[in-house]
Amino acid sequence: MWFKNLSIFRLTEAFTLSAEELEEKLEVVAFRPCGSHEDFSLGWVSPVGKTAPLVHSANGFMMICTKKEERVLPASVLNEMMLEKIAETEEAEGRKLSKKERTAIKDELIFELLPRAFTFSRKLYAYIDVQGGFLVVDSASANKAEDLLSLLRKCLGSLPAVPLNTVDKPIATMTEWLLTQETPKDVTIEDECELRSPEEAGGVIRCKRHDLSLPEIKNHLDIGKQVIKLAINWEDRLSFILDENLSVKRLKFLDLVQDQVTDTNADDEAARFDVNFSIMSLELANFIPRLLEIFGGELKA
């Protein structure tokens, strides 16, 4: 349940629904298995377990979860069968099929094969920080995060939410950190970064398990490359990769946080989920405002 990535959105209006009211609205698009002729099915499931509510609430934070089930129809199989069908038809009719006729054959095969295709599913977790005014999605993909946001808007009618935006641009600030080797007191640069030339289609340098204070890194910065990803440790509590859009990837909750879990007794899976969620959400409620502060504060639209 511990989030491994953070796509963070600012709620531009107060979120006023209770957990019960939110649950009622999510039930309209509760998950159902993929139909025999559907490419995919997307809906809400309980974050905790099958019999638990669709909204898990703790300390003013509301956890929600989508489930997407997709049918897998390998392109290689479809193309092979389509070419065979086209060849048979052209031989039988003694002519070349038009593009429209080829497309129709492909569509017929998809319709025929979909009910027999394997399915796979994945869940995507998010939570609403009502007091802080944030929606936090456990995804490194902006598109997947937007899919969840779109589904939530469909259920609520509207949800004014925008990606984080700061006064100081992350690229400029992270580049300055590496150039000067000076950071805020609660930020430590670790051993990974990605540098990019500012011109269109500029070169990219990726460094892993590398001392970023070495002259060779500064040389790249001196000729104009900029930091677009940087490994950071925050107060020995969190470590992560921060990118140019303030997305957090490969997030790890370090010993100072995990020790809180060890000190808590939880008798069953639901209780452990509640403890983990409470500790994680409270930790991130401290971190996210500080992240904004580090980059000069939030830029209001």
pLDDT of residue 112 exceeding 90, the answer is: no
pLDDT confidence band for 300 (50 / 70 / 90)? confident
pLDDT of residue 301 exceeding 70, the answer is: no
Would you state the pLDDT for residue 270?
81
Question: Could you give phi then psi for residue 95, rounded to 5 degrees?
Answer: -155, 165
User: CA 127 → CA 22, 30, 202, 276, distances in Å?
Assistant: 12, 17, 37, 13
Query: Could you read off the pLDDT of 197-250 as tens digits, one per residue?
Result: 988 777 899 999 999 999 999 999 999 999 999 999 999 999 999 999 999 999
Would you state the pLDDT for residue 75?
80
Residues 6+ apart with CB under 8 A from 139: 5, 7, 124, 145, 148
On whether the CB atoms of residues 67 and 31 are closer than 8 A, the answer is: yes
Query: Could you read off the pLDDT of 38-56 as tens digits, one per residue?
Result: 888 999 999 998 788 999 9
Q: What ranges do the domains of the chain cover?
A: 7-73+116-163, 75-115, 170-294
Token representation of residue 72:
């897998």
Query: Angle at the Cα of 274 (from 139 to 135), degrees rounded to 5?
Result: 35
pLDDT confidence band for 148 (50 / 70 / 90)? very high
